[in-house]
Structure 1
Amino acid sequence: MSRAAEITLYERDSAEKIPWPKTEDGRYAERFLRPMLEQSVEGFIPNVRTRLYVVQAGKQVLPVTLNEAEYGNSYVCSPYTHYVSYAQQELHLIRSRAARVLLSGLLTVMGGLLKASRFNRTAHINNWMVSTNLYPSCSPDQLKAVAQTLKQRFPDYGLVLRSLNRTNHGELLDALVQEGFRLVPSRQIYFLEPSNPAAMNAKARWLVKRDYALLASSGYEVMDHDELKSADMPRLAELYRMLYLEKYSYDNPQFGEAFLELARTGKLLRFQALRSRKTGRIDGVMGYFCRNGIMTTPVFGYDTSLPQELGLYRMLSAVLIRTAGASGHLLHESSGAAQFKRNRGAVSDIEYSAVYDAHLPWHRRAGWSFLHLVLNRIGIPLLRKYKL
């Protein structure tokens, strides 16, 4: 263990010494992280190979993931996968052939540069290994102290905080920039405030109302979390795989039965599923969690072999919007399906990874410097132009 001020870093071998705080966030962290420390992250998420640590900052405990290369990792632990591999797979979304050719060449060159700079040699702070990391009630000073501790403990690693945006983290972003962090854009994300009718125009309200009507007349019933059993996890894993892995990318975290069962029993996620009244089969699922008034959905899937006209995606989205509205949460809708979300009142923001690499030699900083420049000058304008 290494200490700096009120910061304590725990490795796997010292996991039994972690004083998990008796708070909602502390109990959640224990249910989530203890099994992965005692077993392995890869046993729950097969395409996430990482060394997992837990850092205590006052009354908060946060996961820290440490990586060397692992260029085939899911993007949740591999910046290379996020900025190169995944980006190459999404070039088809850009309508201009000339732009696709140009960006393909740029990504190839960039990939070589990033590997040469040992780009994946990173320590990710508050990395829950899901698509969107929600942040507990840590002050900017606490997170800066965590970063200082990790810089001393792992002096040859870049420090990264994923999933930051101006909507939720304006003060933190400003504090990190003052501390010397770079803000490297990662994707365009969407927010919806379902509990505020003024946040939606007439068209958006009409579309959501139509989605509710589809759900009501569809022949599907909504199963709540406590209705789901261990025997349902293979089907839920299949639905997630159909959408997030087979349709989108195997670079997404590969949540299978083991992770979903841990999430179900430990209530790491709250599941809701669509079950056909006719066949009794589950054909859609979503799993969400909330923190500090924000809701996000790391697990989302449906049977893509069924006709699109059935509207499973629309029905799941209706369930999600209704759930967020009833709880009063701001709905973080992540990225993707941009036009669908905009039509229903969602507003966009740019998500960043805050990166500290000032302590590294120049050739190690070169990759992040190049990426910072290219994405701010080219990437963000393209995201906004094509509404990705």
Structure 2
Amino acid sequence: MIYTTLNDLDTEQLTDIPVNIDYLNFMMGGIDRGIRNVHAEVSVMVVKCQLVPISIKDGSHEDSWIHSFTAQYIDEMIAEVDRMSMQPGIKQPVFLLLKIGRMILRLTKEQTVTVFPSFMSTTMYCDSQFQHIAAITEELTKRFPGHAIVFRTLNDIHHHEEISRFKSAGYHPLISRAVYLFDSKDSHSKNERKDIRKDIKRLKKSGYTVTDKLTDNEFRQLLPLYEQVYLEKYSIHNPHYTADFFRFLYHNMTLKWFIVKDDDQIISFMAVQQVGDTLFPAYFGMDQSVKGLYFMTSGLLYQYAIDNQLKINNSAGAKDYKLARGSRPALEYHLIYTNHLRGVQKAAYQLFVKIVTPFGALLLKNLQFK
């Protein structure tokens, strides 16, 4: 049974709740309260006494890439190619390929059910979320015969065994991104350790202060800092958060906050999620005009991981910085189940996966691993 509100759910039947209930309840009440450019209905079901949230996407909206294949693989790539310095003879064929990709995705109808949606760039999983893959898939294919079933953002280092299990269950890996993983217990070079120490030393010399506390009138400072980085510098296809969303996160989510201030003014922030022994910098923003601020703020994350012997899934981007500090590249995948679909829709999904995954993996290894 699918539940659209937690009030209808008999919680006594649950033995495993692998997600934050407050966050889930917030999203079930309407995603647009927190993320303006994601269109989906969030519901839950119970599979073998486990609470399983799902997000149902019907059709191709102008969505953020965190919840849309068209936005991730086409719109984001168009924006990326536009920023690149390419000769016209190269750029035009690339745009043609992206146009073909858009046509193929249009044939899929962009109808998906995402399992355990986090609405973050990276979904952090605990082990129990992979226990009932077959049962979850069976239930969802019955209830959503026209939707692809998706588990997002597994990487080939942390989730090597899980990806194999998904393949055995009939899922296909769709290449997503190159991500950078840091393990404080790894053997790191002298230069890698030195760069992290330099970041912290630079912060101490700056005179900036670091706190994990926010007062009620400071939340309005966070959104412009986020937008400077992710919407103005990078892409309008990144999530469009609301100020109230950051307020909700601070009060209701167990996140580690690094807030850097210049006197009373917040100049950067990072909100970090921890699942098991792995950290993920889920939310970040900074004043782009402050030189070296990214290094200093990220240095806090690396130092925290080292001090507590933790790992970091440092997501994508800033390749040179992350590699220089001992992060290791990995390929990230979405796992997609389409065997229950029919006709053109099924063929379009499978064609897209067969083209994008090998080509994308090769490209990422050549461009993002060194």
Normalised to the residue count of structure 2, the TM-score between the two structures is 0.93
Provide the rounded CA distance (Å) in 1 between the counterparts of 2:185 and 2:311: 10
- SS at 1:138's partner residue? helix
Q: Match for 1:102: what amino acid? A: P
Q: Match for 1:228: what amino acid? A: L
Q: Match for 1:108: what amino acid? A: K
Residues 182 and 311 in structure 2, CA contact (< 8 A), matched pair in contact too: yes
Aligned counterpart in structure 1 of residue 225 of structure 2, from 233, 239, 248:
239
Displacement of 1:18 in angstroms is 5.0
Displacement of 1:293 in angstroms is 1.6
Q: Match for 1:252: what amino acid? A: N
Q: Are 1:362 and 2:353 counterparts?
A: no
Displacement of 1:241 in angstroms is 0.9
Residues 31 and 266 in structure 1, CA contact (< 8 A), matched pair in contact too: yes
Displacement of 1:81 in angstroms is 1.0
Aligned counterpart in structure 2 of residue 156 of structure 1, from 146, 167, 176:
146
Aligned counterpart in structure 2 of residue 381 of structure 1, from 362, 365, 369:
362
Aligned to 2:279: 295
Provide the rounded CA distance (Å) in 2 between the counterparts of 1:360 and 1:33: 28
Alignment RMSD, CA only? 2.1
Aligned to 2:4: 11
- SS at 2:257's partner residue? strand
Q: Are 1:165 and 2:151 counterparts?
A: no
Q: Match for 2:144: what amino acid? A: F
Q: Given the superposition, is the C-alpha separation of residues 28 and 386 from structure 1 closer, same or farther in structure 2, using an over 3 Å criterion?
A: closer
Aligned to 1:325: 306
1:271-330 per-position Cα deviation (integer Å, ceiling 9, x unaligned): 2110013xx2100000111112211112111011x24xx211001110111122223221
Q: Are 1:102 and 2:93 counterparts?
A: yes
Aligned to 1:251: 237
Displacement of 1:26 in angstroms is 3.6
Aligned to 1:29: 20
Displacement of 1:96 in angstroms is 5.1
Aligned to 1:82: 72
Residues 269 and 287 in structure 1, CA contact (< 8 A), matched pair in contact too: yes
Aligned counterpart in structure 2 of residue 269 of structure 1, from 255, 259, 268:
255
Residues 114 and 150 in structure 2, CA contact (< 8 A), matched pair in contact too: yes
Residues 132 and 334 in structure 1, CA contact (< 8 A), matched pair in contact too: yes
Provide the rounded CA distance (Å) in 2 between the counterparts of 1:20 and 1:99: 60
Provide the rounded CA distance (Å) in 1 between the counterparts of 2:19 and 2:242: 20
Provide the rounded CA distance (Å) in 2 between the counterparts of 1:47 and 1:331: 27
Aligned to 2:42: 52
Over the matched positions of the two proteins, sequence identity in percent amounts to 24
Aligned to 2:168: 178
- SS at 1:76's partner residue? helix
Aligned to 2:195: 207
1:167-219 per-position Cα deviation (integer Å, ceiling 9, x unaligned): 111221111111111101011101011x3261x21111111111111011011
Q: Given the superposition, is the C-alpha separation of residues 31 and 285 from structure 1 closer, same or farther in structure 2, using an over 3 Å criterion?
A: same
Provide the rounded CA distance (Å) in 2 between the counterparts of 1:48 and 1:178: 31
Aligned counterpart in structure 2 of residue 283 of structure 1, from 267, 271, 275:
267
Q: Given the superposition, is the C-alpha separation of residues 384 and 100 from structure 1 closer, same or farther in structure 2, using an over 3 Å criterion?
A: farther
Corresponding residue pairs, total: 368
Aligned to 2:102: 111
1:119-177 per-position Cα deviation (integer Å, ceiling 9, x unaligned): x1000011111110011222644122112111111111110110111211122111111
Provide the rounded CA distance (Å) in 1 between the counterparts of 2:343 and 2:18: 41
Residues 255 and 271 in structure 2, CA contact (< 8 A), matched pair in contact too: yes
Q: Given the superposition, is the C-alpha separation of residues 228 and 384 from structure 1 closer, same or farther in structure 2, using an over 3 Å criterion?
A: same
Provide the rounded CA distance (Å) in 2 between the counterparts of 1:51 and 1:382: 34
Q: Match for 1:303: what amino acid? A: D
